[in-house]
Structure 1
Amino acid sequence: MADPQAPARTAHEAGAAAREAAVERALAGLGLDAKTRLLAGQDMWTLPALPEIGLASLVMSDGPIGVRGVRWTADDPSVALPSPTALAASWDPDLARRAGVLLAQEARRKGVHVLLAPTVNLHRSPLGGRHFEAYSEDPYLTGRIGTGYVAGVQSGGVATTVKHFVANDAETDRFTVNNLVSERALRELYLAPFEAIVAGARPWGVMTAYNSVNGPTMTEHRHLVQEVLRGAWGFDGFNVSDWMAARSTTGALRGGLDVAMPGPGTVYGEALARAVRAGEVTEAEVDAAVRNVLRLAARVGVLDGAEPAVTEPPAAVDGPALAREIARRSFVLVRNERAALPLRSGTVALIGAAARDARILGGGSATVFPARVVSPLDGLTAALPEGSLTYAVGADPNTELAVADRGFELRAVCRDADGKVIGTGSAPNGHIQWMGSDLPEGVTHDRLHSVELTGTFTPRESGPHTFGIKGVGAFTLTVDGTTHYDDVQRPAKDDPFLSFFGAPEPRAEVDLTAGEPVEVGLTHVVELPEGAGMKVVTFALAHAEPRRDPDEMIAEAVRAARGADTAVVVVATTDRVESEGFDRTDLRLPGRQDDLVRAVAAANPNTVVVVNSGSPVELPWREEVAAVLLSWFPGQEGGAALADVLTGRDEPGGRLPTTWGALADAPVTRVTPENGELPYDEDLFIGYRAWDRAGRTPAYPFGHGLGYTDWTYESVEVDGTTAKVRLRNTGDRPGREVVQLYLAPAEPDASRPVRWLAGFAGAEAGPGERAEVTVELPRRAFEVWDEATGSWAFVKGSYELRIGRSIADRRITATITV
C-alpha cells in the first residue's frame, strides 16, 4: 500500500537539501572576520546582517507567554497567554501547539525570527523562584507539553530555543553555581524533556544555561552539548548562550556554543578571530558554528537563495480568545465542598487586591505588555447580574512599591550634557528600559546624558502616597514641586541584572488628595560603563498608594462577606515572591492574606478562594473554605476566564502539573549552594517521586483536579504496551477528563521510584455518554539509565498499570509484562 505521506516527506527532504546547499554557498562567501562577527550579537536582540551573502539580520525575542519584540515597553503591546505552569495544567499537548501557532503569528507581526522559549527545566524544589516559567516536576509531562509548543511555533516559520540546557532549576547564584547531578538523574529527569522535544519536534534552537553541571559551565560543556545533544540525539539547530553567560572564547567554541549574546562585546567577534589567528582554535571549528547559524537563517527565511522551512504560515489565530480558552482550561479546582462551584444564584462579595489589580504574569524576562487586561473584578462585573456584586480590598499582598502605572501620565525627555533636549519618547508607565538602539528618535548613546520622566499623577485615594526609585545611579525625584531625593542609588550586591530585577527603594512620602493631579518628575543621569558591550538604559519611577490599617481592611471584607450569598476571595503572590533572579524563602502568601481568608470563611461558610500564583503556595486554611480554585498567572484574559468557570459557563479543565504541599513536608528544598556547589543529593527523587519515597501526604497530589461532572472508569484492555481505557460521564453536564496512567514495578526496587507517569490522554463526553482513549506507553517508560554501560537498559518484568484521576486517585488497574 502506498504511503500517503510520502510526497510531503519527499518535498520536505528536498527542501532541507536545498537549504543545506544554500548554507554551504553562503559559508564559502565569508571571511574569518565576518564569520566571527556573525556569532556575536550586534546588540541586545539581533545578529548582524551580512549583505555580501544575502543574509538579513536575525531577530530574537523573549517569551514564553508572549512575544515582546526588541522593545521593552507597553507602547509595543503583545498578547499575553497564561503562564507555562498553567499551560501544563491543561495536560493537552495540542493546546500547547495552538499556543505556539499564536506565538509564531505574534513573532511574525513583530519581525521576530527566534523565540527564546520554551523553558523546560523541572520543578525540582518548590522554592524555585522561576517555576512559573517552567511546566512541571515531571519530565514526561514537560516533554509532551514542550513538544506541542515547539511544533506549534515552528509550524509558523519561527524558531524556538528550548531552554535552559540543562539543570537550571533554581535562581540562587545561577551565574556561578556548579550543580552536582548523577548521570542517571541527568538522563532520566533533567535531560529527558530536552531529548523528547528534540525527537518529537526537531527544534531549531537550544539555549544553554548560566550554571555549571559537574564542573564545566553549560556554555562550555562539550560532553552534554557536542556528545549528547548534537551527537546522540542528532540536534542540528543553533545553540545560543543565555544572556551574558559565555565566559571563554575557546572554551565556548569547543563546547559547542554557536552564538554568544548579547553583543557586540562578547567572547566571540574580534576575540574569536584573534583566537583563530593565534592557533588557539581552528577556522573549521568556527565554520561548524557559522553553519548552524546559517541553517537557522535559511529555515526562518532570511538567507537569499534558500526557501524557508515554512512557506505558508498557519491560519490566523484570535489571540484574546485563545488566551481565554487556555486560562479556563488550566484552572485547577482542588476543593469543592457542598458543590460551592459553579456559583449559586444570589449576591457575591469579591475580595482581594488581586481581584482589582490583576497579576497576570511572573516577573523577569518573561514580561510582556498586553493591550488590555481583564481583571477578576472586570470579568465578574460583566458576567453577573447588575447589583449582585460588591468589592472590598481585604488585604494587599504588595509590601513593596510597584512601577508607576494607574493614574500616571508620563513622557520621557532626553538631554545631552549641556541640558539640551535631544529627543522625547512616550512612557506608558514609569518604567524606562531602552536596550541597544531602542532609543527615542534622534537620541544616541554617545549624546545621551540624562533622561527625565515627567508628567502628572492623579491619585484615586487620599492620604500619604509613597514614591520611589528602581535602578542604579544618580537620580532626582520631585513631587508637587518639591525635591525629595537628589543622590546616587548604589547596588546592594554585585549582580549585572539588579537594575532589571531589583526592588524599588522608597524615597518620598507625600500627602495627596483623591482626584487632584500633581506634577511628578524623576531624572536619571545615564552612565554606561566604559566599553560596555550591552548598552541599556533602565530605571523606574515607583509608587504605592496610602497604606490602610490592615485590621480595618479585613473587617470591611468580613462585613461584605457576611452580607453576601457567596464570598470569592482572590489571593496572590507578587513580583517579589515569584520572579526571575531569586528563589523563594518560604511558600506563604505575602501580607495578611491568610488572615483575610480565615476571617471571611468564618463570616461566610460559602467562601471560594481563587489562588493567583504561578507555583505552589501554602494554603493553611484550605479545610475551612468551601472551594479552592488555582488560577496560576492566567494571562490577559484571566478575569474573563475566571468568570466563565465560576459561573459554570465552562468547567475548570486543569490538573496539577506539580505537587502542592507545605514547605515543612516538602522532601526537596535546598536551592542555595555551599562553596559554589549544589549537590542534587535527592538523585531521581523529586516531585511526587520524592513524596512517595518519604511517605508523606501533600495537600494536593500530582495530577489532582476536579471538574463539574463525575466519571466512572469502566474497563481497560492492554495489548502489549498499548492501553485502551473506557470511561463514562456519570454527571449531569458535559465534561473533559484527563486519564492518567502510572507504572509501578511489581517488584519494588529502591533505586527506582515507586511509580511514575507513563502516559495520559484527554477524554470528552456528554452526560451519560461513554468515552474511550488509547494510550501507547513509550519504551522509555520501561528503561533506566545504566551508568556502568553509559546506555539505556530496558527493564523486563511485570508492572502494575494504575489508571485514574491523579497519582493518588486510582480507578482501575491492569498488569503489563514486558
Structure 2
Amino acid sequence: MKYKDIIREMTLEEKASLMSGKDFWQSQNIDRLGIPSMFLADGPHGVRKQAAAADHLGLNESIPATCFPTAATVANSWNVELVEKMGKYLGKEAVAQKVNVLLGPGINMKRNPLCGRNFEYYSEDPYLAGKMAAGLIRGIQFNGISACVKHFAVNNQEERRMVIDTIVDERTLREIYLTAFEIAVKEGKTKTVMSSYNMLNGTHTNENMHLMRDILRDEWGFDGVVVTDWGGNNDRVAGLLAGNELEMPTTDGETDKEIVEAIKSGKIQEEVLDECVDRLLDLIFTTEKIFEKPHIDFDTKEHHQMAQKVAEESIILLKNEGNILPLKKDAKVAVIGDFAEEARYQGAGSSIVNPTILNHTLDCLDESGIKAIGYEPGFERYGKKNKKKIDKACELASRADVVLLYIGLDEVTEAEGVDRENMKIPKNQVELLHAIYEVNRNIVVVLSCGSAVEMPWIDRVKGLVHGYLSGQAGAKAVLNVLTGKVNPSGKLAESYPIRYEDTPSFHHFPGKEVSVEYREGPYIGYRYYDTANVPVLFPFGYGLSYTTFAYADLKVSRKGVTFNITNTGNHAGSEIAQLYVGCKSEAIFRPKKELKGFKKVYLQPGETKEVTISFDDKTFRYFNVKTNQWEIEDAEYEIMIGASSVDIRLNGNLHVEGTAAPVPYEKEKLPSYYSGKVSNVSLEEFEHLIGRKVPDPNWDRSKPLGYNDTIAQCQYAKGGFARFAFHLIKFAHWFLRKIGKRSTANLIIMSVYHMPFRGISRMTGGMINMPMLDGLLMIVNGHFFKGLNYFLKQRKLMLKEKSSLTRETDAVKEM
C-alpha cells in the first residue's frame, strides 16, 4: 500500500467515511490528515460541472464548457489520434473547472438500436469502441486528472436499468461486452471505472466478485478506483468486498455505519477496507496535484474550432445520387427544417453540456457561400402536425434548385432513462419530405440523431448527410461538407437495419420485468447481419466520399498486413481501411467476420500510400468456456481488407497454430448459433448455451414488495394507497405527454416509475434512510397505519441523531 502511514492514523469511522460521497458530486475530505475532497463531474463529450443545485439528470444548468460531438458521432471518425486530442481539450477544461474525475467515456455496446443512451456510446463493435475510448482516456488523463470509463458492464437498456438482471453466457460477456473495457483499462490506463446499475447473471455488478475481482482486478490488473453509478449501490458491504471504493452520491453516513458494523462484527476484515482507502487516496492525491499549479482558463474559440474539426471528421455522406453534393456555387437553395434554425447537437440527461458558443445553420449560411433563397421550419419540433408549415415549405421548395431538408430525432426522443419506442423519424417530418418531393426532386437530407433510424423514404432523396449529434460547432461543420470545403470521411460505427424487426435482439429487448436474456449471444450488429445474410440499409463501416479509392497489393504475414491505397478521384480525402478476420473452421461457432484493426489514411488526388495494420492479442482469440480462458483455434483464417463490413476489397489467408483447447460446445445442441440465425433462439437452446436454467423473467406477484422492486410494481401492491399512487403517476405521465411536456414525462419514467425503492434512500442524500424506507414498504404492502407510524418514528430518531452529531461536532470545533 502506498499510504500506510496516513491510513494508520485514521480511525475506523474516518476510513469508512471516505467510501461514500460528501455531497452529490464531491468525495469526503478529512482536513486533519490533509485529505481533500475530489470533484467528480459528468463529461463524456463536455464538462458538466454544476455551480448551483446539483442533480444527475441534466435539469440544472452547468458552468459553460465546450460541447464536443457525442461518442456516437466521434466513433464515425475512426480516428484514435483525433479523439485523443479531443480528450486533451476536455481534460484541460476539467482542470480549469477544478474537476478531478471526468465521468466518461461511456462504452456500452449498441446491442439494440432503441437503447435510449446509444448517443453516448461508441459502437456495436467492442474493438472500435475500446480503441476510441482508450484514446479519449489518454487525452483526458494527459492533464493529470482521471477519466472514468462507464458503465461496467452489460448496461444496454434504460428501462428498469437499476434492477434489471442481464442473463448472458460467459463467452458473449467476454468477447462482446467486456472487450472494450479491457482495452480501456489496459491501453487507456483509466484511473477510474464506474460500475453499472444492473445485475449480471443474478448479482449486482458492483457486488459481482467475478466481474470486479476475477476479471477487472486480477485478470486485467486494474489498480484504480471503482465508483458506483449515482444511486447504484445495493448492498454496501458486498460492494466493498468486491472492491468498490466509492459510493455516490452521499448517503449522509448511513452506509458508512454499515461498513463499520461489518468490520466490528467480523463480517469483513479491516484490511479489505484499507485496500480500498489506499486506492482512493491515490486517486485523490494524484489528481489534486494539478490544482497546485496556477489556474489557467481555456481559450473558448480555440476549443470551439477543435469541436468543429472533430465534427467535420465524423460527418458521414450516406447517399449522393447524381453527385448532387457538393452543392454547385450558383444553385438556389431552400433551407427547410426546424433543426436548421435551432440545432439538434446533443442528447438529454446527465451528459447535457451548457455550450460556450452554439452554431445554428441559419446563422452560418452567409459565411458558407450557399445561395439560400429562404428558410421555412416545415414541421413542429416535437411531432405535432401543422399543414400550414408544410404548405409554406413546399412553396419555398418549388422555387429552389436544391432543397436542404434538416430532419432527425428531437431531444426528448433520445434521452437517458428511457428507451426509444421505435426506430422511426417522427411522422410529421416524413410527411413534409413526401410533400416536398412532389414539388422538387432534388432533396438533400441533413440528418441529426444519435442512433440508427429506419429510412423507408430513402428513395425520395438524392443526398443524405448524417451529422449525428455533432456538438456546438456541428452546424458549421455540416455546411462545410455540403459545400465541399471539407471532404466527408466519416464511416458508420453501427449498422443501419432496413427495419427494426430485422435486429437480432428484436424479441428480447428490453427486459420488461425481472431480467433480459441475451439470446443472440455474440451475434450483435454486423456480426449477425453478415453471418445470417440479413440485408441492411447501410452496413457497418460504410461512408461515401467526394473522391474514390482503390486498394491493391495485400501482403499477409504472421505480424499483420500491408497493402496500398490510391486516391483515384479528383479531390483530396481520407479513407478508413478496415481489417476483418474470419475463421474457416466450423468446430466452434463464430461470426463470419470480426473487426480486428483499422487505419484512417489521408491522400491527395493520385497519391498512393502503403498501409500497415498489425495483428495483436485480440486478432485470433476466442473465449473458451471449458478452459475458462482465451484460446486460439488451430485453423485457416481469412484476412479481409474492406471499405465497410460488406465491401471487402482485398482477401488473403493465414494458417494460425492454436492452443489445443477442447471444443467447448456440442454442435447439435446449438444449431442457431452455428448458423448465426439467432433472431428467435428457443429457451432450451439458450439454456444449453449458458449451461444452466434461465431464471423466471416475470415478477412474482405473490410476494410483498421489497428494496429492489420498482415503483412501477405498485400496480400489484396489496396496499390501496400504493396502487392509487401508481395510477396517479401513470396519469401524470399520460397527461404531460398529451399537453406536449414530453421532457417532464420522461423524467417521471426515469426518476420515479422505474426507480427501485432502495433508490428513494440512495438518491435523497440521507433525507430518507433505510429504516424510514422500511416504513414506506409497510404502507405499500398493505399496512398503512403501522407503516406510517414506523416511518415517522424512524424519521424522528434520524433527526435526533443528526442533531446530537451536530452538537458534538460544534463542541469539538470550540475546543
Give the TM-score normalised by structure 1: 0.76
3-state SS of paired residue (1:201): coil
Q: Does 1:332 align with 2:316?
A: yes
CA distance in 1, matches of 2:366, 2:283: 47
The answer on whether the counterparts of 1:157 and 1:313 sit within 8 Å (CA) in structure 2 is no
Q: Does 1:246 align with 2:83?
A: no
Q: Does 1:366 align with 2:346?
A: no
In structure 1, the residue matched to 2:699 is none
In structure 2, the residue matched to 1:284 is 271
The Cα shift of 1:374 comes to: 0.6
Q: Does 1:741 align with 2:579?
A: yes
Of 118, 121, 127, 2:105 maps to: 118
Of 753, 761, 775, 2:591 maps to: 753
Q: Does 1:588 align with 2:575?
A: no
Q: Does 1:651 align with 2:461?
A: no
Q: Does 1:30 align with 2:10?
A: yes
3-state SS of paired residue (2:501): coil
In structure 2, the residue matched to 1:720 is 558
Deviation string for 1:558-607 (max 9, x for gaps)?
11111111101011212321110011121011241111122223322221
The answer on whether the counterparts of 2:549 and 2:567 sit within 8 Å (CA) in structure 1 is yes
In structure 2, the residue matched to 1:433 is none
- Aligned pairs for 1:766-785 (under 5 A) are 766-785=604-623
In structure 2, the residue matched to 1:201 is 188
In structure 1, the residue matched to 2:41 is 61
Instruction: Note closer, same or farther for the CA distance 1:162–1:279 as it changes in structure 2 (3 Å cut).
Output: same
Deviation string for 1:463-489 (max 9, x for gaps)?
xxxxxxxxxxxxxxxxxxxxxxxxxxx
The Cα shift of 1:319 comes to: 1.0
Q: RCO (CA 8 Å, sep 6+): is it higher in 1 or 2?
A: 1
In structure 1, the residue matched to 2:602 is 764
The answer on whether the counterparts of 2:96 and 2:296 sit within 8 Å (CA) in structure 1 is no
Compare 631-640 and 74-83 and name the one that shifted more.
Answer: 74-83
In structure 2, the residue matched to 1:509 is none
In structure 1, the residue matched to 2:452 is 616
CA distance in 2, matches of 1:256, 1:745: 38
The answer on whether the counterparts of 2:530 and 2:646 sit within 8 Å (CA) in structure 1 is no
Instruction: Note closer, same or farther for the CA distance 1:354–1:62 as it changes in structure 2 (3 Å cut).
Output: same
Structure ranking higher in strand proportion: 1
The answer on whether the counterparts of 1:589 and 1:618 sit within 8 Å (CA) in structure 2 is yes
In structure 2, the residue matched to 1:668 is 505
Of 802, 811, 817, 2:640 maps to: 802
The Cα shift of 1:708 comes to: 1.0
The Cα shift of 1:380 comes to: 2.4
In structure 2, the residue matched to 1:355 is 340
The answer on whether the counterparts of 2:48 and 2:62 sit within 8 Å (CA) in structure 1 is no
Deviation string for 1:298-344 (max 9, x for gaps)?
22135xxxx99999999979210110011111111111111111111
Of 180, 202, 205, 2:167 maps to: 180
Of 210, 222, 228, 2:215 maps to: 228
Deviation string for 1:46-70 (max 9, x for gaps)?
0122122222110000010100113
Q: Does 1:817 align with 2:801?
A: no
CA distance in 1, matches of 2:177, 2:50: 30
| CA RMSD of superposed structures (Å) | 2.1
CA distance in 1, matches of 2:221, 2:18: 24
Of 1, 20, 26, 1:40 maps to: 20
Of 206, 215, 230, 1:219 maps to: 206
The answer on whether the counterparts of 2:92 and 2:298 sit within 8 Å (CA) in structure 1 is no
Deviation string for 1:488-524 (max 9, x for gaps)?
xxxxxxxxxxxxxxxxxxxxxxxxxxxxxxxxxxxxx
The Cα shift of 1:618 comes to: 1.0
The Cα shift of 1:104 comes to: 0.5
Instruction: Note closer, same or farther for the CA distance 1:118–1:267 as it changes in structure 2 (3 Å cut).
Output: farther
CA distance in 2, matches of 1:730, 1:585: 44
Opposite residue 378 of structure 1, the aligned amino acid is D
Q: Does 1:51 align with 2:35?
A: no
Of 63, 66, 73, 1:79 maps to: 66
Opposite residue 633 of structure 2, the aligned amino acid is V
3-state SS of paired residue (1:781): coil
3-state SS of paired residue (2:541): coil
Deviation string for 1:352-392 (max 9, x for gaps)?
1111111110011011101221112222243125x634111
Instruction: Note closer, same or farther for the CA distance 1:310–1:253 as it changes in structure 2 (3 Å cut).
Output: farther
The answer on whether the counterparts of 1:132 and 1:614 sit within 8 Å (CA) in structure 2 is yes
CA distance in 1, matches of 2:254, 2:316: 46
Compare 767-776 and 743-752 and name the one that shifted more.
Answer: 743-752
3-state SS of paired residue (1:656): coil
In structure 2, the residue matched to 1:731 is 569
The Cα shift of 1:201 comes to: 1.6
3-state SS of paired residue (2:538): coil
The answer on whether the counterparts of 1:379 and 1:642 sit within 8 Å (CA) in structure 2 is no
CA distance in 2, matches of 1:267, 1:792: 42
In structure 2, the residue matched to 1:396 is 380
The Cα shift of 1:271 comes to: 2.7
The answer on whether the counterparts of 2:434 and 2:460 sit within 8 Å (CA) in structure 1 is yes
The answer on whether the counterparts of 1:105 and 1:316 sit within 8 Å (CA) in structure 2 is no
Of 163, 171, 179, 2:150 maps to: 163
Q: Does 1:574 align with 2:410?
A: yes
The Cα shift of 1:750 comes to: 6.3
- Aligned pairs for 1:535-574 (under 5 A) are 550-574=386-410
- Aligned pairs for 1:132-531 (under 5 A) are 132-265=119-252, 268-301=255-288, 318-345=302-329, 346-384=331-369, 388-399=372-383
CA distance in 2, matches of 1:740, 1:137: 15
Of 705, 710, 720, 2:543 maps to: 705
Of 619, 624, 631, 1:786 maps to: 624
The answer on whether the counterparts of 1:728 and 1:765 sit within 8 Å (CA) in structure 2 is yes
CA distance in 2, matches of 1:586, 1:256: 39
The Cα shift of 1:643 comes to: 1.1
Opposite residue 624 of structure 1, the aligned amino acid is R
CA distance in 2, matches of 1:601, 1:310: 60
Instruction: Note closer, same or farther for the CA distance 1:353–1:290 as it changes in structure 2 (3 Å cut).
Output: same
Opposite residue 393 of structure 1, the aligned amino acid is P
The answer on whether the counterparts of 1:172 and 1:671 sit within 8 Å (CA) in structure 2 is no
Q: Aligned residues, how many?
A: 645
The Cα shift of 1:25 comes to: 2.6
* Identity across the alignment (%): 32
Opposite residue 540 of structure 2, the aligned amino acid is F
CA distance in 1, matches of 2:254, 2:483: 56
Instruction: Note closer, same or farther for the CA distance 1:396–1:575 as it changes in structure 2 (3 Å cut).
Output: same
Uncovered stretches (5+) of structure 2, i.e. residues with no partner: 55-59, 657-815
3-state SS of paired residue (1:102): helix
Deviation string for 1:35-56 (max 9, x for gaps)?
1111110100001221222221
The answer on whether the counterparts of 1:721 and 1:816 sit within 8 Å (CA) in structure 2 is no
3-state SS of paired residue (2:67): coil
Structure ranking higher in helix proportion: 2
CA distance in 2, matches of 1:271, 1:310: 38
CA distance in 2, matches of 1:599, 1:116: 44
The answer on whether the counterparts of 1:157 and 1:308 sit within 8 Å (CA) in structure 2 is no
Deviation string for 1:197-255 (max 9, x for gaps)?
11102110000000000011012111110111001110010000000010212211112
The answer on whether the counterparts of 1:156 and 1:314 sit within 8 Å (CA) in structure 2 is no
Opposite residue 357 of structure 2, the aligned amino acid is R
The Cα shift of 1:672 comes to: 2.4
CA distance in 1, matches of 2:249, 2:519: 34
